Structure 1
Amino acid sequence: MNKKILVVDDDLFLLGSLELLLSDEGYIVSLVDKSSLIKDSLVAFNPDLIIMDICLDDADGREICDKIKNSWLTAQIPIILMTALSHKKISELDCLADAIIGKPCNYDTLLKTISDLIE
């Protein structure tokens, strides 16, 4: 069975790029471009993994990540946060994400991280 990945970012170009990359790797992908749609997407899509930007339209991805990880219904879903922050700032982030990757990301690194978390 193909693994399902929910991608959350308000950058439509990045969403499209990640959809192509992940679909080519055999993943089933659902895209969300507004933080207000995440909860419904979690229920409807039931992802195996979430890739989410930290800086969303009107929300902080770290806070959303922590809410997902603190719910017994969704705590088991691995979350990769993406950010344009510097590597030094990334190392200082405090949240429950399974991985944090800098933007622009190296696609090989992203795919390896995904594989490590859900394969």
Structure 2
Amino acid sequence: MARIRHPKPNASPGCRVERVLDLIDGKWKGVILYQLMTGTLRFNEIRRKMNNVTQRMLTNQLRELEADGLIVRKVYAQVPPKVEYSLSERGRSLEPVINSLKAWGEAHLPALESDQDVAA
């Protein structure tokens, strides 16, 4: 069962931006949400799309996303067990935000990466 997450104690009361960023913080949550925008996926399908994530990290991130109501985990009663992940309505409402982050990255990351190459 997914653990219940609580807001960070040092978070500014009423700061919605900070709370939203807390929901999607971490290296993998945004990528998981992005992958699930294409549709329902099983655990290993997600893992194959995200080469560098460990099984433990992916499991933890999926549990946190489920606890926060951003994804839905559906377990089928069969042997071997079958588990599917999909975006919830709340998670689907993040699609414009994720698409905006992707567009910003496509527009600005090449310049940032070339600046780092020059500095090195």
Instruction: Give TM-score scaled by structure 1 length.
Output: 0.27
Structure (1/2) with the larger helix percentage: 2
Q: Kindly indicate which of the two structures has a greater share of residues assigned to strand.
A: 1
* TM-score, normalisation: structure 2: 0.27
Question: Over alpha carbons, which structure has the higher Rg?
Answer: 2
- Higher RCO (CA 8 Å, separation ≥ 6 residues): 2
